[in-house]
Amino acid sequence: MRKRIIVGFLSLLAGTVPGMSRDGDDQTADQIAVLGFIEIQTTPAGAELSINDQLVGVTPYKGTHPSGLLTLHLQKTHHEPQKLTIFLAPQEHLSLSLILKEKVDDRKINYGAIRINSDPPEAEIWIDGRHKGVTPYRDPKLPEGEYHILLRKAYHFDLERTIAVERGKLHQETFTLVPTCSKVEIRSPRSTEIWIDDRYVGSDTVQIRLDAGEHVFTVRADKHNPVSRTLTLNRGESRILTLAPEPRIGIVSVSAAPVKGQPAEIVLNGEFKGFAPQTLRLLEGAYHLQVRKPDFLTDWRTIDVVAQQEQEIRVQLAAYAGSLKATKDRWGRRRNRSLGAAAAFLGAGGFCKVLADQRYDQYRQAPTVGQANSYRTQVENYDTASLVFFAAAGTSALLSLYSHICWAQTDVPGERIAVQIDPKNRAIGLALNF
C-alpha cells in the first residue's frame, strides 16, 4: 500500500488528477479502458466518503473512477476524520477496509448499542418520546442508561417497554405485537357483490380486516340466489372464505322440423349453441332465439326462461323456395343489379363526354384541314356514345325503381320483428333500409 501511495504521489507531481465517474454514466470504449473499481468498507459503517473533494456517498461504497491518484476523505460523527491518497490502476478492482477511531472526548462517555425487531416488522418506534423510524431498528452508539421504548403499528395494540443499555454491550430484543382484529379474504366469481353484516364491501375478491367476533358474509349476483355464511373470527386470525351465489336456472328444449338433411342451427342472443334437438340450461330471463337451416326460412322468436321450470319449443321451418321471402329477395337482387348498371352506364357516358370535349379543343387548334376533319369525326363519335350510355343509364335506373317498388310491395310476415331481434342479418336489414 505504501509503495502504491508513493507511486501515486509521484504521478500527481507529474500531471493532474483526472475527473471522477460513477457507475451508470455514459462512457465511451476509450474511457472504460482507463477506469478502475473501488470498494470501501469502514468499521463502523455509515461514514461519508469524498473522493477528490467531491462527496460520493457513504460506506460501504462501490463505484468506478478514472485511474490515477485519488484522495479519499472519510468523516463520521464521534470519530476522527481520515484522509489518504491512493493510486488506482486502469481496470483494477481495489478493495479497502478501514477502522475509524473514536474521538478522545467521546470515549469518556460509556456507550452501548441496541437492535430492536418486531413481529410483524415495520412498526414505528419511539425512544424516550422521539420518533426513530420503523423496525428493524439499530443504534450502534447509545449512552448507557434506561430508555422507554414504544412500538406502534396499524391494527395492532401499542407495546411499551423499558430497556437498559450497558457500556460496550449490544441490547437486542424482538417484540411481538398483538393484533387488534382478524384478516379475512373473500373470494367469489366475477360480477358478484360481497356484503359483510349487511354492508357492501366490494366485488369479486375482497381482503378486509374485521374485529374479532361473529360476522355474516353474503354474496349476491343478478339472476342468482344470494348465499350467506356466518363465521366467528378470533383476534389475529387470518381466514380465506370462498362463496358463490346459486344460479336461478330454467330448462329449454328446442326441436326443429323437418329433420331430414342437415340439422337446424340454434342461435341464442347471437351466440351459436349447437344443433336441434337441443336441451339448454339457461339463467332466468328473456332470450332471442333463432333457428336456421339452409334452404329454409329462419325462425325468430323471444322466449322467457323461468327458474326451476322446463319448457319445450317445437319449430316448423318453412321452405325458402317459392316463398314470399324468395320473391322479395329476387326483386331485391334485380333492383341492385339495375342500380349498379345505371351507375356504370352513367360513368361511361361521362367519360365519353370528357373525351369529346378534349377532341373538340384539339379540333379548334388543328394546324391542317385533314387533322381538323379527323378530330371532328372523333368528337361526333364520342358525343353519340355518351348519349347512348346516358340513355342506357336512365333505362337501368327506371328498371331499378320498378324492382324496388315490387320489392317493397312484397310483404313477408314477421320480417320486421326479425330485424328488431337480430339487426345483424344483412338480407333483412337491407330490405328495411331501402
CB atoms within 10 A of CB 283: 15
pLDDT of residue 114: 92
Provide CB contacts within 8 A for 126, sequence distance 6+.
132, 149, 150, 152
pLDDT of residue 253: 93
The answer to whether the CB of 291 falls within 8 A of the CB of 262 is no
Strand 159-165 to 299-305 pairing:
unpaired
pLDDT of residue 33: 58
pLDDT of residue 217: 94
Distance CA 92, CA 184 (A): 56
Quote the distance between the C-alpha of residue 93 and its chain's center: 44
Half-sphere exposure (Cβ direction) of 82: Cα atoms closer than 13 Å: 19
Single-letter residue type at 30: D
pLDDT of residue 410: 67
In 253-323, which ranges are continuous DSSP H helix? none
pLDDT of residue 200: 93
Distance CA 66, CA 26 (A): 13
pLDDT of residue 432: 36
- Give me the tens of pLDDT residue by residue for the chain, a chain 434 residues long: 433 433 343 343 334 334 444 444 444 555 555 888 899 999 888 889 999 988 888 999 999 988 888 899 998 877 889 888 988 888 888 899 999 887 755 555 688 999 999 998 999 999 988 999 999 999 988 888 889 999 999 888 899 989 999 888 889 999 999 888 888 999 999 889 999 999 999 998 999 888 888 999 999 999 999 999 999 988 888 889 999 999 999 999 999 888 888 889 999 998 999 998 989 999 999 999 999 888 788 888 999 999 999 999 998 887 765 556 667 777 788 889 888 988 998 999 899 989 989 988 888 888 888 888 888 898 889 889 999 989 998 998 998 888 888 788 766 654 443 333 343 443 333 333 33
The alpha-carbon radius of gyration of the chain (Å, integer) is: 46
Backbone angles phi, psi at 324, to 5 degrees: -60, -35
Going through 44-181 in order, the beta strands assigned E by DSSP cover 48-51, 54-58, 61-66, 68-75, 82-88, 93-99, 111-119, 124-127, 130-134, 137-143, 145-152, 159-165, 170-176
